[in-house]
Structure 1
């Protein structure tokens, strides 16, 4: 069994469930593609926002059982991602720098956005709150 190296988690705050959509597995080319797209867009807020929106909608809209609430939150997600472009760029930049040995940074926390980089693992974790659903992107550093 291989470990996931990138995924989206969907967490409902009023219920005890989360759903995980795996984007890449250890050793596959998809993880490299994700890291390369983050690198390519690290200084381009609109480009990074567009990449994350596409990554989210492509990976989560083909689920067979989308509830109306989830579908509506997913439709609103691009707007929420766009509204935090400035913080997303900072977060991704710090993640990429940390993978190159730069000093870790303090977590970012906004009303509907949070970002952290695992101190031990180096994993990027960005979360966007849309309605009562928390969408969390987790990405392993490039090794």
Structure 2
């Protein structure tokens, strides 16, 4: 999972997502792959908890630690993982039907 998230971040960087006028966003995008790598254990715990609770219909245990947060939408059931770099959130979402 972490490798996939890193690949998505790196593709965003190489695709020139940031505009020249938004240097902060460009810097944050450049830092995102390393933040994802540093959050590896939290990401794995988040996805594992999501899958286990989805199958057992249990209560999802949200994670909010440092620059990483993970929760499930009450109404949608979507998993939401956010990586924060300064005031910018990069959000990855997974459908409950995935």
Q: Which structure has the higher relative contact order (CA within 8 Å, separation 6+)?
A: 1
Alignment coverage as a number of residue pairs: 96
Which residue matches 1:56?
Answer: 9
| TM-score calculated relative to the size of structure 2 | 0.81
Q: Which has the higher helix share?
A: 2
Which residue matches 1:101?
Answer: 56
- Kept in 1, the 8 Å contact 2:78–2:93? The answer is yes
- Alpha-carbon RMSD across the aligned residues, in angstroms, is 2.0
Which residue matches 2:35?
Answer: 80
| TM-score calculated relative to the size of structure 1 | 0.58
Stretches of structure 1 lacking an aligned partner (at least 5 in a row): 1-47
Stretches of structure 2 lacking an aligned partner (at least 5 in a row): none
Instruction: After the TM superposition, list the runs of 4 or more consecutive aligned residues in structure 1 that deviate by more than 4 angstroms.
Output: none
Matched, 1:135 2:90: yes
